[in-house]
Structure 1
């Protein structure tokens, strides 16, 4: 390693990422369940003019606060009710998080450092995916990052206003997704001060009389309004079921072992995985120093470790639950790079390790159309088998994207020097993001959402007065794209209710649920695709 500077990151790279993101936001339809439930909730709120109580498919939906739904509604009002508009808030807040890193990195150290942190952040694989997802986490991550960066600036400069901004941003994070918006920053700040032995001094320096009211001002308005309107029943659903319940029990089938987030982390930080060991060792060795880069590295390291540990022991697991760590990963890597640029030998080693991880990805993309019949034989779960059995094949676009990624990796090999490696890895990361999103993401969207889109085509052609039911199936994409709600019937009671219905009506369900409704055996489904069924029941049924 040596201390000479690497080539600075050009700011146009950030704007190129933004343009490519906007161009690819709407390539795939919204995915069930998370993307479509949030988009449908936003649509319901806008159509009904109900801005306090979130509803989805006509039912109260207390799972998350409504701030992100407001953002989606603003985008829907400008761009229409589509995937692009639903995902636009995530892409804008991801870019805003990068600009936060640029701004605070420049103030705390230098423009070179700020640009490096921003570009590293935008080039991580999971960051690109989150920017293309109509979920709440990109917005939440912005406010958690703003909270911790203001805290870092307060530690560095001692200005009281930055302590107040820390409190305000923490409260805003709570207004986005609930208690996690405060739990993560408080946990990280306390642990970071404990690590250097200055926790008592921190507690003495916090301007409590102004910081606490500011926190509650930004955190509580919606919670108070919903509590007044719905009473303690809301608190039970939101706090106990949706927050504590998710930690104690796997919800909606989203579980995983202790290794879950290690695997998620390893994949999500690509193409920077080979650089992380050096940066982490350096941050740990210098954790008690008092310069600004050490402070930022220490804060980032604590954020990464504590969040991964916290969510590892939570029972409900999804990849984006730990996504607030990626601004920290960017700060950790940028700090290590500014301190000591890898020498040419280390750069070649990092390049070789990165190529060993990414060349197989490129080759797999290139070969997908050829090996797809074999890939169809691998799953054994009935739902996966049904999805892959559809008459939908990957196009040569996936192979073209794999070829582009391979060209980017060949170019990376030619940039294997310390001075050029930072820029080269950023470009490689962006190439990885967009080749996967355009190639694999577009095909996955067509494949996974084809059954529900086939149902949407039939539902939109139905008379508006025809009742629409589902049995043991919640597919909010159908509500979103068809523009009408359905009534869910569940279990034995629901089966009984459906058996007593008078035609005409429409009923959708999964193929696996059909044996529970024996009267369907005499009817021909209007849609039978990918494990989904739609029946248009227009006359009496045999076996009633």
Structure 2
């Protein structure tokens, strides 16, 4: 893999297939669902299948207004085929991420050449956060796919303004709307407006925006579901989704995430690991890059998203991913100019050293945290980090050093190989350790509850919907009665006693900060 353009194409495509497998599919089934997001999506899907209501989503029996319907439908198809398990819930995201990477490959191949297409696809598949959301049972891989398809076809329309291309743009935006809402329209419209006005083609843009047939395609795609969800949940869905989970999420901090304007400046280098050094080089060459129209279009796409999410008062790492496709394409297409310094290889190596040091970092965290739940959770670290973690970390660092020292290989090719090693380690060892600490106790608690079907189970002071997934029952948030099992956390025990002074709280299960309490009459 010295330089992909010098290799046999069979080897190049083989490398891409291997990378896609380890990025999105390997060990997809190996860890419990993560709360809050994976648990919430999966439980809403499970309840959809259990009720037979495919128009609207519910979470623990309560209407869920967070997201539209598309990703739930995809999960429902997968679960119907493979059963209720982690693989089935995550498979749709892996498929969406694979299509996202392949669509990027085809676009880069069409706009530049086949070699750039391969590099762009490999850059995408080995980028840390892209692999992460491509393995998670959430909506973001689908949304990124539809945003990318929209903006790819917008550029193609600019090159060849045909009606069929324009209608395809509206169709992709409609599917994005069905996946996550107005963001799927806002990002393409802002990006295209800035680019077309900058290029002096605002009339072309206005003609495309006010195309009645395009809006008809969008309405016909979206309206059947809108009618069905209105029939089920009435106007409350639109209030909850549009006002609470879109406008207020943008203007107010939600769930403790946000709102620092410099947040994404700090997290972006981590998000696009191992290509952080190439990013720094791109910033240095930004004036030159912007002289090329396609580079400019792709960078406007990224900067629009970066500005929007930085201004938003609810900030999460995956929000900036909606524009990273454009950035990665620029990095891959200009790799001969940007990926040229050996120093760029030592940045991901330092990150790998950090991952290898994770057991010691967790030990330090245990000694320094005073929060009861976090302390109980992290205290299990000695039962999580085994000899195989240390052995794999040592092999990872040796492989990374061997790749760095292969001076005859291009920097871009070496970064891809380091990214592949990073993916294998993160999604086989780091993620398993994290899941064992945070999620395995939840799954074990659910299995305990399953063994006591005669007990009613309620939750108190905790929001981990994967518990309901593994129980395959709704876990209501209602007042406990004598004989009930209460699913809660160790930091909620005092509050629970104060709320139910008439009961004796008998701990029947406790692990890593997760507790099941049997409410016994005194």
Same fold (TM over 0.5): yes
2:400 corresponding residue in structure 1: 409
Question: Do the aligned residues in 1 keep the contact of 2:503 with 2:521 (CA within 8 Å)?
Answer: no
2:316 corresponds, among 315, 318, 321, to 318
Give yes or no for the alignment of 1:38 onto 2:41: yes
Displacement after TM superposition at 1:37 (Å): 0.5
Q: What are the ranges of 5 or more consecutive residues in structure 2 without an aligned counterpart? A: none
SS at match of 1:508: strand
- In structure 2, C-alpha distance between the alignment counterparts of 1:275 and 1:49, rounded to whole Å: 49
1:201 corresponds, among 181, 198, 204, to 204
Q: How does 1:119-518 map to 2 (within 5 A)?
A: 119-204=122-207, 208-282=211-285, 284-288=287-291, 294-337=292-335, 340-341=336-337, 347=340, 349=341, 351-355=342-346, 357-369=347-359, 372-390=362-380, 392-416=383-407, 420-464=410-454, 466-489=455-478, 497-498=479-480, 501=481, 503-516=482-495, 517-518=497-498
Displacement after TM superposition at 1:282 (Å): 4.3
Question: Do the aligned residues in 1 keep the contact of 2:44 with 2:58 (CA within 8 Å)?
Answer: yes
Displacement after TM superposition at 1:316 (Å): 1.4
- In structure 1, C-alpha distance between the alignment counterparts of 2:399 and 2:505, rounded to whole Å: 54
Q: Are residues 165 and 334 of structure 1, via their aligned partners in 2, closer, same or farther at CA, if it must alter by over 3 Å?
A: same
Give yes or no for the alignment of 1:19 onto 2:10: no
Question: Do the aligned residues in 2 keep the contact of 1:108 with 1:156 (CA within 8 Å)?
Answer: no
* Cα shift readout 1:497-532 (whole Å, capped 9, x = no counterpart): 44xx3x221112222222222338843211233332
Displacement after TM superposition at 1:534 (Å): 1.0
Displacement after TM superposition at 1:311 (Å): 0.9
Question: Do the aligned residues in 1 keep the contact of 2:489 with 2:513 (CA within 8 Å)?
Answer: yes
Question: Do the aligned residues in 2 keep the contact of 1:108 with 1:153 (CA within 8 Å)?
Answer: no
* Cα shift readout 1:61-86 (whole Å, capped 9, x = no counterpart): 12111211111111112222111111
Q: Are residues 522 and 206 of structure 1, via their aligned partners in 2, closer, same or farther at CA, if it must alter by over 3 Å?
A: closer
Displacement after TM superposition at 1:308 (Å): 1.4
Q: Are residues 520 and 451 of structure 1, via their aligned partners in 2, closer, same or farther at CA, if it must alter by over 3 Å?
A: farther
Q: What are the ranges of 5 or more consecutive residues in structure 1 without an aligned counterpart? A: 289-293, 490-496
* Cα shift readout 1:31-88 (whole Å, capped 9, x = no counterpart): 1110011011111101111100111212211211121111111111222211111111
- In structure 2, C-alpha distance between the alignment counterparts of 1:157 and 1:227, rounded to whole Å: 39
- In structure 2, C-alpha distance between the alignment counterparts of 1:191 and 1:48, rounded to whole Å: 46
TM-score normalised by L of structure 1: 0.88
Question: Do the aligned residues in 1 keep the contact of 2:345 with 2:404 (CA within 8 Å)?
Answer: no
Q: Are residues 221 and 378 of structure 1, via their aligned partners in 2, closer, same or farther at CA, if it must alter by over 3 Å?
A: farther
- Structure 1 stretches (4+) deviating beyond 4 angstroms? 4-9, 280-283, 367-372
SS at match of 1:469: strand
Question: Do the aligned residues in 1 keep the contact of 2:447 with 2:470 (CA within 8 Å)?
Answer: no
- In structure 1, C-alpha distance between the alignment counterparts of 2:88 and 2:293, rounded to whole Å: 38
- In structure 1, C-alpha distance between the alignment counterparts of 2:194 and 2:155, rounded to whole Å: 14
* Cα shift readout 1:415-463 (whole Å, capped 9, x = no counterpart): 345x622222112112112212212111000011133123112210112
- In structure 2, C-alpha distance between the alignment counterparts of 1:488 and 1:254, rounded to whole Å: 24
Displacement after TM superposition at 1:5 (Å): 9.1
